[in-house]
Amino acid sequence: MQTSTGMVWLVALLVLQSGSGLFGASTNASARPEFVNVGGVFSVNTLIGSVAKVAVLAAVEDVNSDPSVLGGTKLKVMIHDTNYSGFLGIVEALQFMESDTVAIIGPQTSVTAHVISHIANELQVPLLSFSATDPTLASLQFPYFIRTAQNDLFQMATIAAMVEFYGWREVTAIYVDDDHGRNGIAALADKLAEHRCKISFKAPMSLDATQDDVTDVLVKVALMESRIIVLHTYSSRGPQVLKVAQSLGMMGNGYVWITTNWLSTILESSSPLSSEDMQMYEGVLSLTPYTPDTELKRKFVSRWSNLTRTFSTNKTLGLSSYGLYAYDTVWILARALDTFFNQGGVISFSNDSRLTGLKGGNLHLDAMSIFNGGKLLRESILQVNATGITGPIQFTPDKNLIHPAFEIINVAGNGYRRIGYWSNYSGLSVVPPEMLYTRPPNRSSASQQLYPVIWPGETTQKPRGWVFPDNGRHLKIGVPYRASYREFVSPAEGQPDMFTGYCIEVFIAALNLLPYAVPYKFIPFGDGHSNPSATELVRLITTGVSTFDAAVGDIAITTNRTKMADFTQPYIESGLVVVAPVRKQDSNAWAFLKPFTWKLWCVTAFFFLIVGSVVWILEHRLNNDFRGPLRRQIITMLWFSFSTWFFAHRENTVSVLGRLVLIIWLFVVLIINSSYTASLTSILTVQQLSSPIKGIETLVSNNDPIGYQKESFVRSYLIEELGIHESRLVPLIMPEDYAKALRDGPSKGGVAAVIDERAYIELFLSTRCEFSIVGQEFTKNGWGFAFPRDSPLAVDMSTAILKLSENGDLQRIHDKWLMRSACTSQGTKLALDRLHLKSFWGLFVLCGSACFLALIIYFLRMVRQFGRHYSEEPESSTSSSRMSRLRTFLSFIDEKEEVVKSRSKRRQMEEASNRSNDEEGSVNGTKKRHIEYSSNDFNPANQA
C-alpha cells in the first residue's frame, strides 16, 4: 500500500518539470513488430495483486497463442511488484518509460494512479487499470488513464439506493484518508443527496492506523445517532476495523454495516474463511461488481485452479472480480493494438529535449521517451467493442464501462448470499440486470426490490437506523414563554426550567411512547411579558450554533416554517377563524317570511300558478269540476293551485297526465313545506344571534380595523395572502385586549373583528358569550413539534402522536386543559342562513319538466283528434282561412270530450245510413233492368 506521500509527490514534481514533450529523434519500428512491450504495476502479494497476476499472465498466454488476434505479434508483459509501496509504484512506472513500453496495466491503487497519470500524460503512454476505482480519475485531467473496471461512482450510487430503499436518511462514513477514500466518500455524499439523504458524520482513518487509532475513531462513531455505517477502505484494513467494532459491541442489534467491494474481494479470494472470521462479518452487507454468467466466464472459472498452479504459489487462491477484469484488460489492449496496426500505427518513440538536458545524478530521466503512437492507441482502446468474460466491453464518452452493475451480498452463517442487484439502468432488483435491459427502464419505488436480510444480531427486523446519541448531551428544546393563553404553555411554579400546559403534556406523553430514552431540557424562549415569535423560534433550530435542537409549543405548521424545519404530525387542528361581537335577534310580526329568500318565495308562487294552469288544461275537457263560466274556472284554478300547499284540494283529477303532474307537484310541496316548517320552528324557538360581520369576505371588502395576536403569523398571512393593508391591523396580546377591542368597536378605537387560530379563539369564547365565531374557518393547518431537517426523531414522534390519538389519550389531554363550560352556547346560534332557491332548484326543474312534457303530449293528442274530426266535416265550396281554422280548433278543445264523441258518433251513424240507402237503390235498379232485358229476349217478334 501507499507510504511516504511526500516522497511520492516529490518524484511526481520532478517528472512534471519536463513540461510538454518536444519531438526529437525517433526510434522507428516495423508496422507489425515481433513483440510489443507492456508493463504491469501492482503488488503481487496482495489479494488483488495475486489474483491479477495469474489473470494477466493467463490472458497474455491466450492472446499470444491465438495468431488471429495480433497477426503474429506477441505481447511481452513485464510485471513489477510494488510491494505495497506507492513510492515503488511510481519508480516502477518510471522504469517502464525507459524501455519503450507502449502501455501499462495498472497501477493497482488510486493514489499511485493519480501521480503516474501525470507521467502518462507527458509521455503519452496509456494506463489501463482494473482496480484504481477513484471516480476523479475519469476526469479530463487524466486523458491517458483508462479504467477497465467499474467506477466507484456507481458503487456509491448502489449504497445510496439501498439507504433510500430501507427508509434511512443519514449514514456515518468510515474511510481511509487518501485519494481513494476521500473521493469515494465525496461521490457517496453526492449520490445520497440525490435521494435526499446525507452523511451525518465522517470518520477518516490513516492508512497506517493502529488498533488504538481505530478504537478512537469507532468510539466517536458510537456516540453519533446514526447507526448506518458505510466502511470504505482496503481489504488489508477493513477486517481490523470490523474486529475492533465487534469488541466494542458495534456489530449487534440496531447497527447496519455496509462495506464497499473490499469485503467481497476477501470472501471470493480467501474462501473458505475460518468460523471466527465469518462471525466477525455476520450481518454485513457488501457489494461486488456484477458480471453476467456467460459461457466464456464459466470456462475461465473452470480453468482457474489449473492457472493458479501454473502462475502462482498460492494453490487455494480464489477468483475475485478483479481477476476477471484483469484478464479482460489484456484482451482490451490486444484488440486495441490490432486496430492500431490496422490503422497504420507504428511503434516509435521520441526523446524529450528538456529531459535530455537533465543530465547528472542517478535518475536517468533523459532515458524516458514519448510514445509517438500513444494518442492513436488511446483512441483505439476507447473504441473497443467486444465481449469478454465480464460481459460486453465498451466505453462510454466519459470513459466508463457500459452497463455498470453490482451484486449486493449479505454475510450470514458460514457464507454469504445474494439479496439483489443494482444497475444504472433500473436500480435495485432481484432479477439479473441483463434481463432488464430488454425492458423499458423503471425506477419507480414499487419496482425497487431486494430479498430479506439477516442483520447484525441475527435478526430479520430492519433496524431503525439511528438512536439518540449517547454522548451525555441533553436535547435542548425551545419553549415559547407566553404572556397569554397559558393553558397551552406556561412555566411551572417555582421551577423555571420546567413547563406545563396542553402542548407540554402532549409532548411528554408522546416521548414516553418512544422505544428509547431521550434526555432533554426545556429552555424558555421569550420574556413572558409578550408573546414570542414562533417563526423565530423555529429559525433558531436551523442556525449553525444550534441554539435549540427542537421547538415544542403552540407552533402552527405554516409554509414558511416547513421550509426551515421538519414538523411532526399535527396534534391539534387550528385554522384561522373570525370572531366578532354578536347580538340577540328578536322575532317580529313578519318572522314567518324569514325561512325563504324572496327569490324562493317568488319561484314557489309562480309554480303554484303554473301547476294549477297545467292541471286545468289537462282536466278541462274531461272533468266537470274544471268547467263552467270563465270566472268560475279562474277561481277554481287558483283555489286548486294554492290548496295543494295544505293538501286540501277538493277537485278530483281524472286524466292520466293530470294525475302524473299532480303527484310530482305534491312531492315538491311536501319537501318545501317540511323545510319551511323546520326553519320557522328554529327561528321561533332557538335564540338567534346576528353580526354585521359574516366572515372573512366581509372584512376583506370593508375598511374596518382587524385585531390579531401580536407576533403571530396571522399578520403576514393577511397582508401577503389576502391583500389587507397593514394600517388596518391592530396587534393584541391578552384575551382581555381582545374583549375590550371588540366591545369598543371601530367607532371607539377598537376593532370590528379579531382573526386568530381556532384553538385560541375557542378558549377565548369559553367565558365570553357576547362574541362568537362568524363565517367559516378559512385556513386548514395544525400545531406540531419542530425538529431539524431530516431528524429521525420527527418521524418517531409523529408515530407516537398517532398512537396517542388512537388510544384516546390525546382527547383526554385536550379535555383536561382546554375544556371549559362557564359559558355554554347550547340553545343559541348565529342567525341561520335563509333557505335559498339553489337548495330546491332540482325539484322545480323536475316539476317544470313534468308539466312541459304533459302539455306536449296533450297538445299532440288534441291535434290528432281535431284532424280526425275536421276531416269528417263536409267540404265547403271555398277553403277556410287559417284564422277560422284556429278558431275552430280552440272551440274544439273547449268542448267537452263527451259532446265531441257523441257528435262524431251521430255523424258516423248518419253516414252509414246514407250509404245503406244508396246501396239498396242501386240494387233495385239493377234488378228492374234485368227483368226488362229478359222479357225482350223472349219476345216472338225479336225471335223472328
Q: Find the angle CA(313)-CA(150)-CA(85) to the nearest 5 degrees.
A: 50
Comparing C-alpha atoms, which of 107, 150, 149 is closest to residue 125? 107
* Reported confidence tier of residue 449, pLDDT bands at 50, 70, 90: very high
**Interval 357-407: pLDDT, tens:** 555 555 555 567 889 999 999 999 999 999 999 999 999 999 999 999 999
Q: Which residue has better confidence, 469 or 203?
A: 203
How far is 640 from 652, CA to CA, in rounded Å?
A: 10
Mean pLDDT estimate for the chain: 82
Q: What crossing angle do the helices spanning 735-744 and 758-765 adopt, rounded to 10°?
A: 80
pLDDT, residue 434, reads 92
Q: Which residues pair with 371 in a beta bridge?
A: 349
* Reported confidence tier of residue 32, pLDDT bands at 50, 70, 90: confident
- Three cell numbers written together for 943: 225471335
Residues 6+ apart with CB under 8 A from 494: none
Q: What percentage of residues in the chain have a pLDDT greater than 70?
A: 79
* Reported confidence tier of residue 145, pLDDT bands at 50, 70, 90: very high
How far is 660 from 653, CA to CA, in rounded Å?
A: 10
Comparing C-alpha atoms, which of 661, 663, 666 is closest to residue 645? 666
Q: Is the pLDDT of residue 112 over 50?
A: yes
Q: What secondary structure letter does DSSP report for 563?
A: T
Q: Which residue has better confidence, 357 or 460?
A: 460
Q: Is the pLDDT of residue 166 over 70?
A: yes
Q: What crossing angle do the helices spanning 809-818 and 758-765 adopt, rounded to 10°?
A: 50
pLDDT, residue 623, reads 62
Classify each residue of 421-451 as buried b or exposed e, where b means 16 or more C-beta atoms within 10 Å of its C-beta.
Answer: bbbbbbbbbeebbbebeeeeeeeeeeebebe
How far is 482 from 488, CA to CA, in rounded Å?
A: 9
Q: Which residues pair with 500 in a beta bridge?
A: 490
Q: What is the mean pLDDT of residues 895-912?
A: 65
**Interval 313-365: pLDDT, tens:** 777 789 999 999 999 999 999 999 999 999 988 888 887 666 655 555 555 55
**Interval 583-622: pLDDT, tens:** 765 556 666 666 777 788 888 888 878 887 787 777 766 6
* Reported confidence tier of residue 215, pLDDT bands at 50, 70, 90: very high
Comparing C-alpha atoms, which of 325, 207, 332, 333 is closest to residue 268? 325
SS3 419: strand
pLDDT, residue 684, reads 63
pLDDT, residue 708, reads 94
Residues 6+ apart with CB under 8 A from 792: 169, 170, 225, 464, 465, 466
Q: Is the pLDDT of residue 30 over 50?
A: no
Comparing C-alpha atoms, which of 661, 670, 647 is closest to residue 613? 661
* Reported confidence tier of residue 842, pLDDT bands at 50, 70, 90: confident
Rg, the chain, Cα only: 49
How far apart, in Å, are the Cα atoms of 123 and each of 116, 371, 375? 11, 6, 10
Q: Find the angle CA(299)-CA(305)-CA(309) to the nearest 5 degrees.
A: 135
Q: Is the pLDDT of residue 767 over 90?
A: no
Question: Is CATH 3.40.190.10 correct for 152-289+404-447?
Answer: no
pLDDT, residue 304, reads 93
- Three cell numbers written together for 512: 414516553
Residues in the chain: 944
The reply to whether 689-780 shares the fold of 152-289+404-447 is no
pLDDT, residue 693, reads 82
pLDDT, residue 889, reads 65
Q: Is the pLDDT of residue 902 over 90?
A: no
Q: Residue 621, Cβ neighbours under 10 Å: how many? A: 21
Q: What percentage of residues in the chain have a pLDDT greater than 90?
A: 44
Q: Which residue has better confidence, 517 or 802?
A: 802
Q: Which residue has better confidence, 328 or 700?
A: 328
pLDDT, residue 839, reads 74
How far is 841 from 594, CA to CA, in rounded Å?
A: 19
Q: Is the pLDDT of residue 280 over 80?
A: yes
Q: What is the mean pLDDT of residues 5-19?
A: 38
Q: What is the mean pLDDT of residues 442-449?
A: 87
Longest dimension (CA), the chain: 180
pLDDT, residue 827, reads 40
CB 462 within 8 A of CB 214: no
**Interval 803-836: pLDDT, tens:** 999 999 999 999 899 876 545 444 444 544 567 7
Q: Find the angle CA(936)-CA(938)-CA(939) to the nearest 5 degrees.
A: 65
Q: Is the pLDDT of residue 116 over 70?
A: yes
Q: What is the mean pLDDT of residues 461-466?
A: 88
How far apart, in Å, are the Cα atoms of 263 and each of 209, 229, 416, 428, 549? 19, 14, 11, 20, 38
Residues 6+ apart with CB under 8 A from 523: 476, 477, 478, 479, 497, 548
The helix/strand count (H/E) of the chain reads as: 32, 35
Q: Sign (positive/negative) of CA torsion 706, 710, 712, 713?
A: positive
Q: What is the mean pLDDT of residues 78-94?
A: 76
* Reported confidence tier of residue 922, pLDDT bands at 50, 70, 90: low
Q: What is the mean pLDDT of residues 233-249?
A: 93
pLDDT, residue 14, reads 38
Q: What is the mean pLDDT of residues 768-790?
A: 88
* Reported confidence tier of residue 879, pLDDT bands at 50, 70, 90: very low
pLDDT, residue 264, reads 93
Q: Residue 777, Cβ neighbours under 10 Å: how many? A: 17
pLDDT, residue 914, reads 66
Reading across the β-sheet that carries 583-585, which strands appear in turn?
Answer: 583-585, 687-690, 828-830
Q: Find the angle CA(522)-CA(523)-CA(527) to the nearest 5 degrees.
A: 135
- Three cell numbers written together for 236: 488489508
Least confident of 332-336, 481-485, 542-546: 542-546
Q: Is the pLDDT of residue 483 over 50?
A: yes
Q: What is the mean pLDDT of residues 131-159?
A: 94
- Please give the helix or strand (H or E) that residue 175 lies within, else none: strand 170-176
How far is 438 from 523, CA to CA, in rounded Å?
A: 60
Q: What is the mean pLDDT of residues 935-941?
A: 43
- State which fold the 689-780 domain adopts: D-Maltodextrin-Binding Protein; domain 2 (3.40.190)
- Three cell numbers written together for 521: 431540557
Q: Is the pLDDT of residue 507 over 80?
A: yes
**Interval 703-751: pLDDT, tens:** 899 999 998 999 999 999 999 999 999 999 999 999 999 999 998 899 9
Reading across the β-sheet that carries 475-480, which strands appear in turn?
Answer: 520-525, 475-480, 550-551, 786-787, 566-567
Q: What is the mean pLDDT of residues 685-702?
A: 74
Q: Is the pLDDT of residue 221 over 50?
A: yes
Angular region, 65: left φ>0, alpha ψ -120 to 50, beta rest = alpha
Label the pairing between strands 475-480 and 520-525: parallel
Side-chain-facing half-sphere of 411: CA atoms under 13 Å = 31
CATH code of domain 35-149+294-393: 3.40.50.2300
Question: Residue ranges of the alpha helices (H) in 166-270?
Answer: 179-194, 211-222, 238-247, 262-269
pLDDT, residue 834, reads 63
Question: Is CATH 3.40.190.10 correct for 475-574+790-818?
Answer: yes
pLDDT, residue 637, reads 73
- Please give the helix or strand (H or E) that residue 560 lies within, else none: helix 559-562
Residue with cell 510514445: 371
Could you state, in order of their start, the residue ranges of all structural domains in the chain?
35-149+294-393, 152-289+404-447, 475-574+790-818, 591-685, 689-780
pLDDT, residue 11, reads 39
Q: What is the mean pLDDT of residues 503-526?
A: 90
| Burial class, 786, CB count within 10 angstroms (exposed 0-12 / middle 13-18 / buried 19+) | buried
* Reported confidence tier of residue 3, pLDDT bands at 50, 70, 90: very low
How far is 832 from 686, CA to CA, in rounded Å?
A: 10
- Three cell numbers written together for 617: 288544461
SS3 286: strand
- Highest averaged pLDDT of the listed ranges 25-39, 62-76, 320-334, 505-519: 320-334
| Burial class, 647, CB count within 10 angstroms (exposed 0-12 / middle 13-18 / buried 19+) | exposed
Dump the DSSP string for 104-136.
EE--SSHHHHHHHHHHHHHHT--EEESS---GG
